[in-house]
Each structure stands twice: as structure tokens, then as C-alpha cells.
Amino acid sequence: MSISAEAVRFDDDNMWVELSDGRTLGVPLAWFPRLLHAAPEQRLAFEISREGLHWDEIDEDISISGLLAGRGDQTRRSAEAAE
């Protein structure tokens, strides 16, 4: 069974993702700098797909499998690894 996002909400410090299996994940916004620095209306402009969450305006994609594995933003880590 594939677990997907059903809803997303935010408070001042966290993103809350309601999953299809009934769990709700609380993820610190600090894990995703683009979301952390986005305006509240930009955070709310997301799309839910089978694989995860997408924010077109801030160029952010977050996979549900990554959230379940406890991974934050991988962009900086892959850029640092290339140096």
C-alpha cells in the first residue's frame, strides 16, 4: 500500500501532513529553508500528488517517502557533496 498526503497545514514552526494511513506528521519548517522563508500565502499554494508535495512558486518538492524517512531538504547536501 502506497502512503500519500491527504492534507497539509502550517503553524509558525511546523508543516503538518495528514497521511492516507491516518497518521499526521509534524515536520519542522527549518528542514526546508524555502518553506521557512516563504510567505504564508506561498506555503499554502501547494499541490498534492501521489508521490508528495509541490510548490511551483518557490520551486520546492517534498516526497512523502522522504518525510517518512526523516529527510529534510536534500538540495544543499547534494550541492555540498559535488564540491
The model's pLDDT over 2-29, given as tens digits with 9 standing for 90+, comes to 899 999 999 999 999 999 999 999 999 9
Concatenated DSSP letters for 39-63?
-HHHHT--EE-SSEEEETTTTEEEE
pLDDT for 82: 45
pLDDT digits (tens, 9 = 90+) for 27-36: 999 999 999 9
The count of structural domains within the chain is 1
Which residue range is the domain that position 66 belongs to? 5-82
Mean pLDDT of all residues in the chain? 90
Closest CA to 61 of 81, 34, 26, 79: 34
DSSP 8-state class, residue 22: S
CATH code, 60: 3.30.2020.40
Q: How many residues does the chain have?
A: 83
Does pLDDT of 81 surpass 50? no
